[in-house]
Chain A
Amino acid sequence: MRQLKAFAIAAAAVTAMTVGAQAQDKEITLCWAAWDPANALVELSKDFTAQSGIKMNFEFVPWTNFADRMLNELNSGGKLCDLMIGDSQWIGGGATYNHYVKLNDFFDAEGISMDDFLPATVYAYSTWPKGTPNYYALPAMGDALGWVYRKDWFARPELQAEFKDKHGRDLAPPKNWIELKEIAEFFQGRDIDGKTVYGAAIFTERGSEGITMGATSALYSWGFDYEKEPGSYDMAGVVNSPEAVEALEFYKSIYDCCTPPGYSDSYMVANLDAYKSGQVAMMMNWFAFWPGLAKDEAVGGDVTGYFVNPGQNVEASTLGGQGISVVAYSDKQAEALEYIKWFAQEGVQKKWWSLGGYSCHKAVSGAPDFADSAPFAADFLVAMNGVKDFWQEPTYAELLQSMQKRVHDYVVAEKGTAQEALDKMIDDWTITFEDDGKL
């Protein structure tokens, strides 16, 4: 039966390939977030259209609306998207609620091996249940949270001297969060070239996932975990551990001391805005933006330096990135699979990286010259080695919203303490898991 299905899918793919020439009017829609890598993908996909004759349409939604819009689309059984580059946390829901087509048979039939991709990305973007060989996506875009800093400002001798005087060490990218805060405080309110600048741009967005992604980058460095044992949903004492409380308090202290005025609701684009306009000395954001930043007329080239999310108790980075999935409601699954088949090729993956997309293919990121291919490439490998993701449970959106509320209430709205915020978060999450029958 299994083989029969595999054969059917393969046959469908082959048929689609052979009729490709006549299929000029065929078109499929790919849904993703509106950001730099998406533009790169449009460029890359021109090759696919040229080869297969299948026209590509794109539906790109800004990040702050992306999850909302696309999960709504999936939940209403919409046929808008044939291919979905859905966020890593959606994989549980995508698999459990049958939004995504299971790709194992297709991979087998086409000889696509998950061994060709970085294990961390396969684990994070493709598998459900986690770590099992059940694939619902092909790793498409590796990503993690990282930092950039104003190399030109850091290099100024007078600032170097003043900083050394104050802290007894060189003004250099921080090794841990304490150093990061010291640097941010150093720059906060400083006059540089006649303009007041601020310490750091961090994620504080309330509506979608911003502040959670920002705060977890501190939490993970303090050794935060979600459960005592994976799969136990036993959260008390871990989620609200003293280290977690300290990390969250620390994140708030950075928000309080070192962000630009009115920085209460900012995510990726707001941070980019602040950084590119020369308002901040450091910025947290996703690696996905670094290729674009390197080309930027204002802060590109030597102006910007990069560093991995600093550790504190452990080295860890918040995971970003996405896999590419075929939407189960699509009428054009054969064409969508054909796209994935094309995308998985080594040559295409190499071009993907050259255009600014973080390929997860070992032939790209595992190649010896990868680390030197961009100023941030080596950092990317380091970050991807220590990535940690939010819950990928089917109820992830619910879990995320609870964390957004609790963390924002504490960090930005000054409501209660870090301990209370994390305690309440456990209460919320417990209800979610109880409702979902996991507890």
Chain B
Amino acid sequence: MSKPSLSVTTASPRAKWIAGILVVSYAMVAMIPLVWIFMTGFKSPPDSISYPPKVVFEPSLEGYVNLFTTRSRQTDEYIESLGPPETWYDELVRKRNMVITGPSRFADRYWNSVVIGFGSTFLAVFLGTLAAYGFSRFKVPLKDDLLFFILSTRMMPPIAVAIPIFLMYRELGLSDTAAGMILLYTTVNLSLAVWLLKGFVDEIPREYEEAAVVDGYTRLQAFVKVVLPQMRAGIAATAIFCLIFSWNEYAFALLLTSGNAQTAPPFIPIIIGEGGLDWPAVAAGATLFLLPVVIFTVMLRNQLLRGITFGAVRK
């Protein structure tokens, strides 16, 4: 029997080691900015702009407090007149001669991101699955043209799309509404959803459905009971991609939303503190904004890879 190391498809241990070290180094270098974001979220504002950059520092929750509150600078006498601070975050803020004047808009913006992100993802995946199945299994006239047409909608720069959408939404009263944003993100995501999902459907053997039809299923039942379960991984992967798009989208949100339906991406970059961007607060916002997507991705990691490499792991 030949040793596994002689097999051509498995690399030699040494090559594996070198490759592994290279990959791990890349990953670690690529992680520096993210680790830095995470760390900066726990720095105090002075530490965040110190030179040389501080790697070891006294952790502080000021960034998170600043992210969720609005504050105003007051004189010492005024602050003393308020009596002792009631909460730990009051105390933190008063150390900087400030008092909390109210909550910031971050929570609202974040919630908008959740509603708009999940709403548009659900719609895009739902419609995309149907269309992908239609394109994959049936003779549709001008199929290639239609598919290309769907893809072509992705070629418009978002700003270009935003011009007529701005006018249209102004007429329809959809400006600065969650419904308007969901509709828009659904449309933008549809092209990706249809293309990705069609690939997944294509890879499901038709024989499965044919067998089901022979067993007395109708076409629709075969779709629901045979094809859909097979597509689960593909749908999950597609949903993640759609969700990431909606969650992160910036241009439309910047131009078409304002005080009501604004999502987090246009909000986080403009968290201004005393003098300049409040980097710990920006970092805190970025961390909270990124975290769910990271968790989601890690949870669905295997499905994500399986979805992308569908053919290889068909079993």
Contacts and interface: CB of A to CB of B under 8 A. Distances in A.
Contact of B258 (A43, A80, A292): A80
Contact of A78 (B72, B258, B276): B258
Contacts of A277: 49, 275
B308 interface: no
A76 B72 contact: no
Contact of B277 (A59, A269, A276): A269
Interface of A: 29, 34, 36, 39, 42-43, 59, 61-62, 64-65, 69, 72-73, 76-78, 80-81, 269-270, 272-273, 276-277, 292, 295, 297
B72 A62 contact: no
A277 B97 CA distance: 17
A39 B101 contact: yes
Contacts of B175: 76-78
Contacts of A61: 270
Nearest to A39: B72
Contacts of B277: 269
A65 B270 CA distance: 8
Contacts of A80: 176, 258-260
- The listed residue with most B CB atoms (<10 A of its CB), out of A39, A292, A297, is A39
A224 to B, nearest CB: 30
Interface string B101-141: 10000000000000000000000000000000000000000
Contacts of A39: 72-73, 101
Given A29-B259, A72-B255, A269 B75 contact: no
B276 A34 contact: no
B275 A72 contact: no
Contacts of A72: 255, 258
Nearest to B72: A39
For chain A, what secondary structure do more than half of its interface residues adopt (helix, strand, loop), or is it mixed? helix
A3 B73 CA distance: 46
B35 interface: no
Interface of B: 49, 72-73, 75, 97, 101, 166, 169-170, 175-176, 255-256, 258-260, 270, 272, 275-277
Contact of A59 (B72, B259, B270, B275): B259
Contact of B166 (A76, A270, A295): A76
Contacts of A76: 166, 169-170, 175-176, 256, 258
Given A76-B170, A76-B176, A80-B258, A269 B272 contact: yes
A272 B276 contact: yes
A64 B256 CA distance: 18
A77 B170 contact: yes
Contacts of B75: 295
Nearest to B51: A195
A295 B176 contact: no
B73 A295 contact: yes
B39 to A, nearest CB: 21
B174 to A, nearest CB: 10
A81 B260 CA distance: 11
8 contacts: A42-B72, A62-B270, A65-B270, A76-B258, A78-B259, A80-B176, A269-B275, A269-B277
A273 B275 contact: yes
A73 to B, nearest CB: 5
Given A69-B258, A78-B176, A272-B276, 6 more contacts: A34-B272, A64-B270, A76-B258, A269-B277, A295-B73, A297-B97
Contacts, number: 55
A81 B166 CA distance: 18
A273 B46 CA distance: 11
Q: Which 9 A-B pairs have the closest CB atoms?
A: A273-B276, A80-B259, A39-B72, A273-B275, A272-B275, A76-B175, A62-B270, A62-B272, A269-B276
A73 B258 contact: yes
A7 B281 CA distance: 50
A61 B97 CA distance: 23
B129 to A, nearest CB: 34
A335 to B, nearest CB: 17
A59 B258 CA distance: 10
B258 to A, nearest CB: 5
Contacts of A42: 72, 101
Contacts of B97: 297
B119 to A, nearest CB: 22
Contacts of A276: 275
Nearest to B96: A297
Contacts of A29: 259
A269 B175 CA distance: 31
A353 B260 CA distance: 32
Contacts of A273: 49, 275-276
A64 B276 CA distance: 11
Contacts of B258: 69, 72-73, 76, 78, 80
A270 B169 CA distance: 36
Contacts of B275: 269, 272-273, 276-277
A270 B273 CA distance: 11
Contacts of A272: 275-276
A264 to B, nearest CB: 15
A64 B175 CA distance: 22
A42 B71 CA distance: 11
A78 B256 CA distance: 10
B72 A43 contact: yes
Contacts of A43: 72
B272 A292 contact: no
Nearest to B173: A77
Nearest to B71: A39
Contacts of A59: 259
A78 B170 CA distance: 9
A62 B256 CA distance: 18
A78 B259 CA distance: 9
A297 B276 CA distance: 16
A147 B72 CA distance: 24
Contacts of B101: 39, 42
A299 to B, nearest CB: 10
Contacts of B176: 76, 78, 80
Contacts of A297: 97
B291 to A, nearest CB: 25
A69 B256 CA distance: 10
A64 B169 CA distance: 25
Nearest to A57: B259
A65 B169 CA distance: 22
A37 B182 CA distance: 37
- The listed residue with most B CB atoms (<10 A of its CB), out of A76, A272, A277, is A76
Contacts of A81: 259
A62 B268 CA distance: 12
Contacts of B259: 29, 59, 73, 78, 80-81
